[in-house]
């Protein structure tokens, strides 16, 4: 290292601060210091022990000039694997900084599914430019075909590197083939057995292949129970199939039924995490990559949902305005009113979260929706009664007004009952309308619980207190 460089303690070699993660806070600080001194040698020494995924995390943590300086000084460290691991918005900025030939060289060794992941969010002209720079024409054609499938489909997710063999081959022939062929996939778990039309008819797992005698034919040891995935299947459904049947890989077929690719469990893990994160972010009205976006872009991305929330808040305020005379006559109503609305909102969110998750995992369907609706109605009623006693008792003791306690309790029962019902109704209706429940259900539910809460509380107060 250069003179005057900061002393770094416990830099990671094989693990991180807990021995499992290679990127530590001390290392990030050291990298920033090396970047500020434009010391390429020290920078390369610091990142040399890191896994590609850790280098991707490191680049994501850098900002502005530091990130650009990193690419300038250590562009060789930005391999295809690093690009595949990096978040979409950050990856796009890096690709724009690198030469097209450098990007093509970096991704040329990746499986087709990873190449597609790197290129799919780029503008079409930029995609074509990088694809034309790929050295292998076959890889180029395969990636182009995968990009032609719908976004978030099995066709985008699959890799085209797989092993398919006829059923009459023997175990010995198969093993010899795998030893001699130089174009085998880097990672694979099963061999697909196909008929003369190249349609999958079975699989042979590697452990069974290696335990079988050489003269045995593949047809005699193959598993015929296949979960064949059409290329246009949504990736969320792919994740469900893998989870439901404990798959490690699955064949992907085109419209003709011909085997065109394979999806492996490591890719599905990414999909499951991505879909879960997407639902969580949508429930909050934010975008997945908010943490890596500029402040102005982040503000713009959140503006729409905040505007929708403002409109729903105005609607709730309008309900309150209709009872302004009632509130003027009894100040206690203004103090207690938010309690009723917030409890309904929280109860509804609990039901909504369960419902959205159940729809995603296919545990909730039209066949059992009425039973779940009945259960959530009962839960809302029971919790409403319990909290009606608690809040009503506190309100009555606080203001020494028994009638006020009954009003608070009655409004609490009504709002929590409605919250439980609509926490299920809203996502189910959106789902049947082919609208993602995670996108709009939260805003609609908040509107319902606020409006019903204020209406029930102030309406009961107007009827029994004044």
Paired with 202 in beta bridges are: 193
Per DSSP, the three-state class of 329 is helix
pLDDT of residue 44: 92
Tell me which residue has tokens 């949508």. Answer: 282
Are 177 and 133 within one domain?
no
Are 214 and 256 within one domain?
yes
Are 377 and 346 within one domain?
yes
C-alpha to C-alpha distance for 349 and 209, rounded to whole angstroms = 51
Give the DSSP letter of residue 150: P
| Residue range(s) defining the domain that contains residue 344 | 294-464
Alpha helices in 323-434 (DSSP H): 324-329, 332-360, 369-399, 402-432
Which of 284, 308, 337 represents a domain boundary (last residue)?
284
CA trace torsion 277, 282, 283, 288 (10° rounding): 40
Are 38 and 149 within one domain?
yes
The answer to whether the Cα torsion of 130, 136, 137, 142 is positive or negative is negative
Q: Specify if 2 maps to a domain.
A: no
C-alpha to C-alpha distance for 458 and 415, rounded to whole angstroms = 12
Q: Specify if 6 maps to a domain.
A: no
Are 301 and 428 within one domain?
yes
Are 143 and 211 within one domain?
no
Are 270 and 199 within one domain?
yes
Nearest CA to 79 out of 115, 39, 123, 29 is that of 115
Are 322 and 440 within one domain?
yes
Q: Specify if 14 maps to a domain.
A: no
pLDDT in tens, the chain (466 residues): 444 444 444 444 444 444 567 788 889 999 999 999 999 999 999 999 999 999 999 998 888 889 999 999 998 899 999 999 998 878 888 998 988 989 998 998 888 888 998 999 888 889 999 998 888 777 788 899 999 999 889 999 999 989 999 999 999 999 999 999 888 887 888 999 999 999 999 999 999 999 999 999 999 999 999 999 999 999 989 988 998 899 999 999 999 999 999 999 988 888 877 777 666 666 665 555 555 566 666 666 666 766 777 787 788 888 888 888 887 778 888 888 889 988 998 898 899 888 887 887 778 888 888 999 999 999 999 999 999 999 999 999 998 899 999 999 999 999 999 999 999 999 999 888 888 787 778 888 888 999 999 999 999 998 888 7
C-alpha to C-alpha distance for 435 and 216, rounded to whole angstroms = 52
The backbone region for 251, taken as left when phi is positive above 0, alpha when psi lies in -120 to 50, beta otherwise, is: beta
Which of 256, 284, 312 represents a domain boundary (last residue)?
284
Which of 255, 284, 313 represents a domain boundary (last residue)?
284
Number of domains into which the chain is organized: 3
pLDDT of residue 13: 44
| Displacement of CA 120 from its chain's centroid (Å) | 17
Q: Specify if 3 maps to a domain.
A: no
Are 143 and 57 within one domain?
yes
Are 35 and 114 within one domain?
yes
Are 323 and 400 within one domain?
yes
Alpha helices in 38-123 (DSSP H): 40-47, 52-61, 64-73, 80-85, 88-97, 100-107, 112-119
Starting from the edge strand earliest in sequence, which strands make up the sheet with 249-253, in order? 229-230, 249-253, 259-264
Are 61 and 207 within one domain?
no
Please state whether beta strands 229-230 and 249-253 pair in parallel, antiparallel, or not at all (unpaired): parallel
């Amino acid at each position: 290292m250069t003179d005057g460089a900061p002393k770094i303690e416990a830099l990671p070699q094989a693990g991180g601060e807990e021995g499992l993660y290679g990127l530590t806070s001390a290392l990030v600080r050291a990298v920033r210091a090396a970047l500020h001194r434009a010391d390429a040698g020290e920078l390369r020494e610091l990142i040399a022990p890191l896994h590609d995924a850790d280098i991707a995390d490191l680049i994501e943590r850098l900002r502005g000039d530091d990130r650009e300086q990193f690419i300038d000084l250590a562009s060789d460290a930005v391999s295809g694997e690093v690009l595949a691991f990096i978040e979409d918005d950050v990856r796009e900025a890096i690709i724009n900084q690198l030469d097209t030939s450098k990007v093509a060289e970096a991704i040329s060794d990746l499986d087709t599914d990873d190449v597609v992941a790197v290129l799919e969010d780029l503008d079409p002209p930029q995609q074509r430019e990088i694809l034309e720079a790929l050295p292998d024409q076959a890889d180029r054609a395969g990636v182009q075909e995968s990009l032609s499938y719908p976004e978030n489909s099995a066709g985008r997710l699959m890799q085209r590197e797989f092993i398919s063999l006829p059923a009459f081959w023997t175990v010995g022939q198969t093993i010899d083939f795998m030893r001699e062929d130089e174009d085998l996939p880097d990672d694979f778990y099963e061999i697909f057995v196909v008929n003369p039309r190249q349609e999958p008819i079975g699989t042979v797992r590697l452990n069974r292949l290696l335990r079988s005698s050489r003269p045995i034919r593949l047809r005699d040891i193959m598993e015929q129970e296949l979960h064949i995935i059409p290329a246009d299947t949504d990736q969320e459904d792919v994740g469900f199939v893998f989870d439901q049947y404990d798959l490690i890989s699955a064949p992907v077929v085109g419209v003709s039924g011909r085997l065109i690719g394979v999806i492996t469990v490591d890719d599905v893990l990414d999909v499951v995490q991505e879909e879960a994160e997407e639902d969580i972010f949508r429930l909050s009205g934010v975008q997945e990559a908010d943490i890596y976006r500029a402040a102005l872009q982040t503000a713009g991305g959140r503006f729409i949902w905040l505007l929708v929330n403002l409109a729903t808040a105005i609607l709730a305020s309008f309900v309150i305005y209709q009872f302004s005379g009632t509130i003027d006559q009894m100040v206690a109503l203004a103090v207690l009113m938010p309690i009723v609305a917030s409890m309904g909102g929280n109860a509804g969110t609990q039901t909504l979260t369960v419902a959205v998750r159940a729809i995603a995992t296919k545990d909730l369907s039209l066949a059992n929706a009425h039973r779940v609706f009945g259960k959530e109605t009962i839960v809302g009623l029971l919790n409403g009664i319990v909290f009606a006693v608690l809040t009503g008792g506190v309100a009555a003791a606080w203001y020494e007004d028994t009638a006020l306690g009954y009003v608070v309790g009655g409004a609490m029962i009504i709002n929590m009952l409605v919250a439980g019902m609509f926490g299920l109704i809203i996502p189910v209706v959106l789902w049947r309308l082919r609208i993602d429940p995670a996108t709009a259900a939260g805003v609609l539910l908040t509107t319902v619980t606020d409006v019903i809460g204020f209406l029930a509380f102030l309406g009961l107060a107007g009827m029994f207190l004044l």
